[in-house]
Amino acid sequence: MKNMVVLISGRGSNMQALVEAGLPVKGVISNRADAAGLEYASGRGIATAIVSHRDYAAREAFDAALALAIDGFQPDLVALAGFMRILTAGFVQRYQDRLLNIHPSLLPAFPGLDTHARALAAGVKLHGCTVHFVTPELDHGPIVVQAAVPVLAHDDETVLAARVLAQEHRIYPQAARWFLDGKLVIDNGVVRVNGDHPQQLYAP
Ligand code: GRF
């Protein structure tokens, strides 16, 4: 049976969405012992592990420990879900083409942090989220699926973030399922889904 591991740093609502969609989440790994998502995972009988970045002086050493924890599960897919550490190129290469991330913007717009505040400040009228394969460059990499939501006149960061998050919880399970079903093809940096499934969602 195929399976996946999810990496979190905090709340873990995307991880929860993956579990509740029935995906085979075998392990949840956090770099923070106080990540709220860990409690949810153990409550569901899912194995958890903590690899604290504070225990390692160098990024390479942290990534090596993380890889050891991941490989213990022998996952087909590794999903970053609010995992707030920058990964080394070596780590990313080790999991090349089986490492997904969810990012709260319509990439390539607004890579990095504070995406909702930046979207509001830029005055964009559409915002959203992206599931993409991870490459060494932060928040780049082949796009699997995107969901777009409107930015409304009186939105603040909290309201906009919640609107986007609801869509994250829809597209991440979809992307993970496509991956585990062997439906994703990366062709020259462009992802296609075998069977012609729509790779975009509009949530007015
Ligand atoms: C999500 O918005 C995700 O896109 C971003 O960090 C947030 C994590 O939320 N990378 P959660 O931990 O999944 O609830």
pTM for the complete prediction?
0.97
- Give the residue carrying structure tokens 């860990």: 38
Distant-in-sequence, close-in-space partners of 56: CB < 8 Å, separation ≥ 6: 62, 65
Element (H, E) at 117: helix 115-122
103: tokens are 């990012």
Report CA(39)–ligand 1 centroid distance (Å): 16
Atom of ligand 1 nearest to the CA of 161: 2
103 carries an active-site annotation = yes
Report domain extents, the chain: 1-95, 101-204
- pLDDT of the residue at 154: 96
- Output the CA 125–ligand 1 centroid distance in Å: 21
Q: Whose CA is nearest to atom 8 of ligand 1?
A: 82
Ligand 1 atom nearest to 13, measured from its CA: 14
Vertex 139 angle, CA 117 and 50, to 5°: 95
> Where on the phi/psi map is residue 139: left (φ > 0), alpha (ψ -120 to 50), or beta?
left
Which residue has the CA at smallest separation from atom 6 of ligand 1?
Answer: 82
Ligand 1 pocket, residues with Cβ under 6 angstroms:
8, 10-14, 81-82, 102-104, 165, 168
Cβ-in-10-Å burial (0-12, 13-18, 19+) of 152 comes to exposed
Instruction: Give the pLDDT of residue 183.
Output: 98
Question: How many Å lie between the centroid of ligand 1 and the Cα of residue 76?
Answer: 22
Tokens of 101: 């991330």
The pLDDT, as a whole number, for residue 125 is 98
Selection from 47, 37, 35, 34 nearest residue 14 by Cα? 37
- Ligand 1 probe mutation, 13, 40, 138, 164, most atoms within 8 A of CB: 13
- Residue 89 CA to ligand 1 center (angstroms) comes to 22
CATH of 1-95, one of 3.40.50.300, 3.40.640.10, 3.40.50.170, 3.30.70.2470: 3.40.50.170
pLDDT, tens digit, 9 for 90 and up, residues 110-163 = 999 999 999 999 999 999 999 999 999 999 999 999 999 999 999 999 999 999
| Residues of the chain predicted below pLDDT 50 | none
Q: What does CATH list as the number for 101-204?
A: 3.40.50.170
